[in-house]
């Protein structure tokens, strides 16, 4: 079955899967750097491009295959195959994007994605109709499922790496080759057996599409994937301006490490001192607890860049990635050193010494924190003046 494939379409299928993987991973790598609704939009976009890349690769591979004459594609199984792929990819990305990405969670998600990709393939294969019956070699079916699971694990690891450049390119190429490998492994174990004269597997009442119609649909999806890939290469405007012109404001080192007396105008009430009534306030904690796969770890506050509220808990960013902290945002604010940390938004606390860029955006502002993986944090309009004061940007000549 595999010998008669069109080599150009086979190569195109690998390229399409790689482009879809690159676009999906590029969007996924930005998820932890943006808050709120934008986070969900990026998650949905990453899942969509990965699913479209996988599904389009599958049908480009089908167009490359030497199918029997008069073969048509049943529309319902073809649509269902895409929905299966999109659903399992979306669910898996969601599970690995919340909480600590433990080995068990990533492995479970990989199994789910692998089974979903294999299900998409075989549902799509049995959407073929014509004067034949499709048979599968059981050993090749098991091997293709194993390839799909390994593919999914590698893809999710690439998603969690949050890296760009060469690492992202290599991950996308590996993803494209692996997804294609699953497809062609399954095709190697697939055989067509002709029916008796006058026999036809396709029911006249089912909606079907010819290979020409499928070619048009695939061409459109290839254009969508390519467009998404090219857009993902466009650099972030803020990062370009920051690297070319330096900070949007001439940042100066804070004149003093003493906290600015602005608590009276803060829109959020400060929690009571942790020392209790009649007792001095407890000293700021030197470390923050974060949850890991094997228990609770502790990271030095000097390494903390920001703290973000997540329901009743928080997520602590150490300049490389976010990890879940069991404290609430109010408890974190009360425990951290106020001379180093400032609550700049209802849901965000930042480490002032790690601010590398401040930029006005809309009614508020955005701070960029340094580290191996710089990330941005929003500043509410009510906190802009305090942030500028803490960064030494207030004009003191009038004093």
Q: How many CB atoms lie within 10 A of CB 339?
A: 16
**Contacting residues for 42 by C-beta, under 8 A, at least 6 apart:** 27, 28, 30, 31, 34
User: pTM for this one?
Assistant: 0.56
* CA atoms within a 13 Å half-sphere pointing along the CA-CB vector of 143: 14
Task: List beta partners, residue 341.
Answer: 351
Task: Give the closest residue to 343 by CA, choosing from 328, 353, 330, 359.
Answer: 330
Per-residue tokens: 141? 């079916």
Phi-psi sector, 162: left (phi>0), alpha (psi -120 to 50), beta: left
The ranges assigned to domains in the chain are 2-234, 245-390
Per residue of the chain (399 residues), give pLDDT as tens: 456 778 888 888 888 888 887 887 777 666 655 555 566 777 777 778 888 888 888 888 888 888 777 788 888 888 888 888 888 887 877 777 665 567 788 888 888 888 888 888 888 888 888 777 888 888 998 998 898 888 778 767 766 655 556 667 777 787 788 788 888 888 888 888 877 655 555 555 567 666 677 677 777 877 777 777 677 666 554 444 444 444 444 444 444 444 444 333 444 444 444 444 445 556 788 888 998 777 888 989 899 999 998 877 899 999 888 888 989 888 888 889 998 999 998 889 999 999 998 888 777 888 999 988 888 899 988 888 889 888 888 764 444
Phi-psi sector, 246: left (phi>0), alpha (psi -120 to 50), beta: left
CB 105 within 8 A of CB 99: yes
Identify the CATH homologous superfamily for domain 245-390.
Answer: LytTr DNA-binding domain (2.40.50.1020)
CA 157/CA 69 separation, integer angstroms: 42
CA 272/CA 70 separation, integer angstroms: 77
């Amino acid at each position: 079955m595999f010998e008669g494939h069109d080599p150009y379409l086979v190569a195109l299928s690998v390229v399409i899967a790689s482009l879809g993987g690159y676009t999906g991973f590029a969007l996924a790598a930005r998820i932890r750097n943006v808050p709120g609704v934008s986070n969900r939009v990026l998650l949905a976009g990453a899942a969509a491009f990965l699913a479209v890349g996988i599904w389009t690769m599958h049908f480009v591979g089908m167009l490359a295959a030497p199918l029997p004459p008069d073969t048509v594609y049943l529309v319902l199984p073809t649509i269902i195959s895409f929905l299966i792929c999109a659903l399992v990819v979306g669910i898996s990305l969601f599970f690995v994007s919340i909480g600590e990405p433990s080995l068990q969670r990533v492995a479970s998600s990989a199994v789910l994605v692998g089974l979903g990709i294999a299900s998409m393939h075989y549902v799509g294969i049995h959407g073929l109709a014509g004067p034949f019956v499709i048979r599968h070699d059981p050993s090749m079916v098991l091997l293709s499922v194993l390839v799909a699971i390994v593919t999914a694990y590698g893809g999710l690891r690439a998603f969690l790496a949050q890296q760009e450049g060469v690492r992202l390119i290599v991950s996308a190429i590996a993803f494209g080759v692996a997804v294609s490998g699953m497809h062609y492994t399954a095709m190697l174990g697939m055989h067509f057996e002709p029916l008796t004269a006058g026999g036809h597997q396709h029911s006249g009442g089912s909606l079907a599409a010819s290979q020409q119609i499928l070619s048009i649909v695939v061409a459109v999806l290839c254009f969508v994937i390519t467009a998404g890939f090219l857009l993902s290469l466009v650099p972030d405007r803020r990062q370009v301006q920051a690297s070319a012109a330096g900070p949007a404001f001439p940042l100066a080192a804070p004149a003093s490490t003493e906290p600015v007396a602005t608590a009276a105008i803060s829109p959020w009430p400060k929690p009571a001192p942790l020392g209790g009534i009649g007792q001095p306030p407890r000293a700021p904690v030197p470390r923050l607890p974060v949850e890991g796969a094997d228990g609770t770890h502790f990271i030095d506050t000097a390494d903390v860049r920001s703290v973000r509220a997540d329901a009743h808990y928080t997520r602590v960013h150490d300049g490389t990635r976010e990890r879940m902290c069991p404290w609430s945002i109010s408890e974190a604010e009360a425990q951290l050193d106020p001379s180093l940390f400032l609550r700049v938004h209802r849901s965000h606390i930042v480490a002032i010494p790690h601010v590398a860029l401040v930029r006005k955006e809309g009614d508020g502002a955005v701070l960029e924190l340094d580290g191996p993986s710089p990330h941005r944090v929003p500043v509410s309009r009510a906190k802009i003046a305090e942030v500028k004061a803490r960064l030494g940007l207030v004009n003191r000549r009038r004093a």
